Chains A and B, each alone.
Chain A
Amino acid sequence: MSLDFLLHPTSYLGGVSGNLSAYLCFSAILFVFGLIAALSRRSTIGIFMGIELILNAAALNFVVFQVMKKDLAAQNWLHGHMFSLFIIILAAIEAAVALAIILRAFGSKGTINSDRISELKG
């Protein structure tokens, strides 16, 4: 890539708001960071936040496809938006239950480190 990119960044980045791949890249990055957080954090709250990132990436993808794909946009019922809405609602339920479990575990074990809450391990 030549130095043109630095001199005229606008000509390369123009039209990014209508570019399907740009959104997909963004949500892929979000997904991967969420995965890293969920796999490597030891705090259960950290794991939970990673899962929230993954859910957000997925929900964004649904809307992007709905808005940009011509055959989907021609349909009446906005299936992509509906999926995102349901993801957001279910995430709220998940948050309530997960944090109730976390607080309970903290109450009985005194820690929320997932390595030390391991009584169910066989």
Chain B
Amino acid sequence: MSGLDLFVLAMFALGIAGAFFTAFHPNILYASISLIATLGAVAGLYAGLGADFLAATQLIIYVGGILIVILFAVMMSENIYKKRFAAEAKKYILPSIVSIGLLALLFKLLFSADWGELSEISQSQDGVTLQMGQALSRPYALPFQYVAIVLLFGLIGAVVIARPHIGKKRK
């Protein structure tokens, strides 16, 4: 068992525990905190797979951006201690059964599927960051610009939605 195996196993455990609490914890704030653990675990898995740039991007966008926004929304919207699990428990029954069935199906699929020829994770010292940069500036240049425009309009839309008095005259 190599060191990387140990790390990947730890990340699996962290990620699954975090995902479990994200789905089932009655307190929405704790759910969002366990989401931090899951997102961090996915970042760790990216790091283990040699996708350094993605690992750092995951940290910077998810943990530094999206989770902050989620926490803002949680803190500003609900009285989070008022909610009790018992009131909502029965709403979990049907989705859980369906989802566990889906999980069984997925497991059956992925253990019976033929994935073709597999290769080892490359252990090169250079990483793939340079390759990613070249891909972004050549075949993916247009999609990247497109995403940039979508981001711009998405942010403008968010501002327009979130501001209550836009379009009305101020007194």
State the A residues within 8 Å of B (CB): 10-11, 13-18, 20-26, 28-37, 39-43, 45-46, 48-50, 52-53, 56, 59-60, 63-64, 67-71, 73, 76-78, 81-82, 84-86, 88-97, 99-104, 106-107, 111-112
Contact = CB atoms under 8 A, between A and B. Distances in A.
A20 B115 contact: yes
A89 to B, nearest CB: 5
Contact of A35 (B102, B111, B120): B102
A99 B72 contact: yes
Contacts of A63: 46, 49, 51, 54
Contacts of B46: 60, 63, 84
Contacts of B50: 67
A46 B31 contact: yes
Given A36-B95, A70-B117, A96 B158 contact: yes
Interface in B24-66: 24, 28, 31-32, 35, 38-39, 42, 45-46, 48-51, 53-54, 57-58, 61-62, 65-66
30 contacts: A11-B1, A13-B9, A17-B48, A23-B45, A26-B45, A29-B16, A32-B100, A32-B106, A37-B22, A45-B70, A45-B74, A49-B31, A50-B23, A52-B66, A56-B39, A78-B131, A82-B143, A85-B54, A85-B57, A85-B132, A86-B143, A88-B57, A91-B61, A92-B66, A93-B150, A93-B155, A99-B72, A102-B73, A106-B76, A112-B78
A42 B157 CA distance: 25
Interface of B: 1-2, 4-5, 7-9, 12, 15-16, 19-20, 22-24, 28, 31-32, 35, 38-39, 42, 45-46, 48-51, 53-54, 57-58, 61-62, 65-66, 69-70, 72-74, 76-78, 83, 88, 91-92, 94-96, 98-100, 102-103, 106-107, 110-111, 115-122, 128, 131-132, 134-136, 138-140, 143, 147, 150-151, 154-155, 157-159, 161-162, 164
